[in-house]
A and B are shown apart, each in its own frame.
Chain A
Amino acid sequence: MNPYLPREAEIVERIQETPTVFTLRLRLTDGQPYGFEAGQFNMLYLHGVGEVPISIVAGGEADGLLTHTIRAVGRVTRGMMALRAGERIGLRGPFGRGWPLAAAEGREVVVVTGGLGCAPSVSIIHHILRHRERYGRLTILQGVKHADDLIWRTQYEAWSRQPEVRVLLVADVASPGWQGAVGRVTALFDRIELDAAHAIAMLCGPEGMMLASAAALEQLGLAAGDIYLSMERNMQCAVGHCGHCQFGARFVCRDGPVFAWPDIRDLLGVRGF
């Protein structure tokens, strides 16, 4: 198997979430099966421009479509924003190690996300809600810089109506009609009660936010090994060859992107790593 060779995928649906965030729902045209674990990513290829690593929001459900939510921040992603339904891109994956689904079974799950960090964590939320009986209480803490940055409001509302699910939203800057809290995501930890001995946490978002959240969760009594973080680094090959994503001894693309907190705590937050 050639790990570098993309497959063709057709854009079945395209959703503009915010002025700079869009969702592509994709169908692989080769008809071959595709499976992934929540937290893994794909390399998406824009013809003639290049590849980018994008986490998998959803896939393999009834319609068989793969869902990617993308923020237009670089050459490739800005170019991708102009794509329309019916157009085609390249796709290879899935890559990396996802969330610890097995370890989380039977336990209370806390999902902490910031910014578009919600994209990788949506896959875990979907998984838990689909297999509700296997998991304990689900707490979702979502922080955004500006209240208007929050995408999928209706989805959060729908999640919050599910049994044993709490959703707490927080924005650094509120806007008219904002129902959530104002401040940092860490401020929400004062508001939740947690069965720390039987909880597992999954963090995703800016590193400063993950550092602060991991520290706050440890304060609440969570074992460090029960805190998981999804990392981002420059990833080009996605198979641990090109070297860009190295974080100390780890290749984020291959050994991550999801890591247990003790595995990366020495270097997380050190400038330049």
Chain B
Amino acid sequence: MKHAAFLPRHALQILLDALSGEGYRVVGPRVRDGAILYEELRDVADLPAGWRDEQQPGQYRLERTDTQRSFAWAHGPQGIKPLVFRPRESLWRVHRSADGRMAFSASIPQDPPLAVIGARACDLAALELQDRHFLESIRDPSYAAHRAGLFIVAVHCTHPASTCFCVSTGDGPRAGKGFDLALSELDEGYLIEVGSERGAHIARMLPLQLSSDEQREQAEAEIAHAAALQTRQLPGTNLRDSLFANLDHPRWREVAERCLSCGNCTSVCPTCFCHAEQDLPSLDGQSAEHVRQWDSCFSEGHSTIHGIVIRAETGQRYRQWLTHKLGSWHDQYGRSGCVGCGRCITWCPVGIDLTEEARAICGPNGEGAT
């Protein structure tokens, strides 16, 4: 934060306008239906100023506070994931002519590039993981198209929820990398760090001032305070061996008593990448659209193979989720698939806590069954 510049609070609108002027469709946090969601954002007045989220396992409530700050909250159900790995998206279309010939055409997204305001450190870490999944081995054309244009304005987290544990996964609360611009919100405005050439280009359009030592110290102190506030944590750092050594642990059956296998956890998880493909033919049968949509390892269809459901039981599905998320991600992508955002805890209708389940199965330090 040594080189952060200062942007007065009233000048944030200039940032939105600059991004729009450069051709970005700007999305940012707004209050809708009792939660903070990323929606189209044109006016800083629509930011959730004075709102705070109170999160508990299975519970999310927005509360009014007396602050004028716009980012004094943790997060809503979405990360950046829905912007790049869309919940439902066409992959290709086919047209069949009267003589039976088929013509296939790829559906490559043509929408304008997005700029997202308010991304959190956990979501940047998740985006990096999704990049590796969708771009590294075999390039996913749709993801690549959305990702290429994405401009990220991160905001360092100062108000974690009770369900957050990004400190224990090493992913927050400071947004360390992967942004174009990063903001620290102070009462009087924002400290701005530049993270990319594109970010520098936009920053040059802003009425930036020199920041003071006090402002930088204040911003650092707030991030440090956010880290200190977190009480939840995952045991250990690499739970793979201990999870795979406990595939018969009775806890899988116990959690299955509570788990609804509804897929809310995987849907809000910013790193979960599973999706199902489906054909949507026109009624006349001449053409069809081949789409993909978010799927979940908690669904029956996820493991169905010619009529056999490999994971018919909830306990097996929960085990698949946890052994993958906290275990085999290490083999696949060199780190845990969990970035500590805690969304799976908050948005689980029955409040199942992944950190608690991991502790029950792996022991308090990840050393194995207790």
Chain A residues with CB under 8 Å of chain B are: 2-8, 29, 45, 47-51, 71, 73-74, 77, 86-90, 232-234, 236-237, 239-244, 246, 248-249, 254, 266, 270-273
Decide if B231 is an interface residue (CB 8 Å cutoff): no
Given the interface pairs A3-B138, A243-B275, A246-B324, the reply to whether A47 lies near B106 with Cβ below 8 Å is no
| B137 contacts A4, C-beta separation under 8 Å | no
| A272 contacts B104, C-beta separation under 8 Å | no
| A47 contacts B134, C-beta separation under 8 Å | no
A54 to chain B, nearest CB (A): 11
Q: What are 10 A-B interface contacts by the 8 Å CB criterion?
A: A2-B141, A50-B279, A71-B306, A73-B306, A88-B96, A88-B101, A237-B277, A246-B328, A266-B244, A272-B311
| A244 contacts B295, C-beta separation under 8 Å | yes
Cα distance A133–B101 in the bound complex, in angstroms: 43
CB contacts (< 8 Å) of B303 on chain A: these are: 233-234, 244
| B277 contacts A242, C-beta separation under 8 Å | yes
Which of B102, B105, B140, B331 has the most chain A CB atoms closer than 10 A to its own CB?
B102
B231 to chain A, nearest CB (A): 31
| B104 contacts A239, C-beta separation under 8 Å | no
| B328 contacts A8, C-beta separation under 8 Å | no
Given the interface pairs A249-B328, A272-B313, the reply to whether A48 lies near B274 with Cβ below 8 Å is no
Cα distance A237–B274 in the bound complex, in angstroms: 10
CB contacts (< 8 Å) of B332 on chain A: these are: 249
CB contacts (< 8 Å) of A45 on chain B: these are: 94
Cα distance A232–B310 in the bound complex, in angstroms: 11
CB contacts (< 8 Å) of B304 on chain A: these are: 234
Cα distance A246–B157 in the bound complex, in angstroms: 34
Decide if B56 is an interface residue (CB 8 Å cutoff): no
Cα distance A39–B30 in the bound complex, in angstroms: 52
| A241 contacts B138, C-beta separation under 8 Å | yes
15 A-B pairs besides A4-B91, A5-B91 with CB distance below 8 A are A2-B92, A48-B281, A48-B285, A48-B288, A50-B279, A74-B306, A88-B100, A233-B303, A241-B273, A242-B295, A246-B320, A272-B313, A272-B316, A272-B319, A273-B310
| A87 contacts B100, C-beta separation under 8 Å | yes
CB contacts (< 8 Å) of A89 on chain B: these are: 102
Decide if B278 is an interface residue (CB 8 Å cutoff): yes
Cα distance A244–B328 in the bound complex, in angstroms: 14
CB contacts (< 8 Å) of B305 on chain A: these are: 232-234
Contact of A88 among B102, B273, B307, B315 (CB under 8 A): B102
Given the interface pairs A50-B278, A272-B319, the reply to whether A5 lies near B138 with Cβ below 8 Å is no
| Residues of B contacting A: mostly | mixed
A170 to chain B, nearest CB (A): 23
Given the interface pairs A246-B328, A272-B319, the reply to whether A51 lies near B100 with Cβ below 8 Å is no
CB contacts (< 8 Å) of B307 on chain A: these are: 73-74
Cα distance A227–B100 in the bound complex, in angstroms: 44
Interface size class of B (residues with CB under 8 A): 35 or more
CB contacts (< 8 Å) of A5 on chain B: these are: 91-92, 104-106
CB contacts (< 8 Å) of A270 on chain B: these are: 247
CB contacts (< 8 Å) of B322 on chain A: these are: none
Cα distance A233–B310 in the bound complex, in angstroms: 9
| A47 contacts B102, C-beta separation under 8 Å | yes
| A47 contacts B288, C-beta separation under 8 Å | yes
| B138 contacts A51, C-beta separation under 8 Å | no
CB contacts (< 8 Å) of A266 on chain B: these are: 244
| B279 contacts A48, C-beta separation under 8 Å | yes
Cα distance A109–B247 in the bound complex, in angstroms: 35
B309 to chain A, nearest CB (A): 10
| B276 contacts A242, C-beta separation under 8 Å | yes
CB contacts (< 8 Å) of A3 on chain B: these are: 138-140
A24 to chain B, nearest CB (A): 15
Residue of B whose beta carbon sits closest to that of A46? B279
CB contacts (< 8 Å) of B92 on chain A: these are: 2, 4-6
- Chain B residues 296 to 337 lying within 8 A of chain A, measured CB to CB, are 297, 301-307, 310-311, 313, 315-316, 319-320, 323-324, 328, 330-332
| A4 contacts B295, C-beta separation under 8 Å | no
CB contacts (< 8 Å) of A241 on chain B: these are: 133-134, 138, 140, 273, 275
Residue of B whose beta carbon sits closest to that of A2? B106
Cα distance A33–B91 in the bound complex, in angstroms: 24
Cα distance A254–B306 in the bound complex, in angstroms: 20
CB contacts (< 8 Å) of B96 on chain A: these are: 47, 88
Residue of B whose beta carbon sits closest to that of A95? B138
Decide if B292 is an interface residue (CB 8 Å cutoff): yes
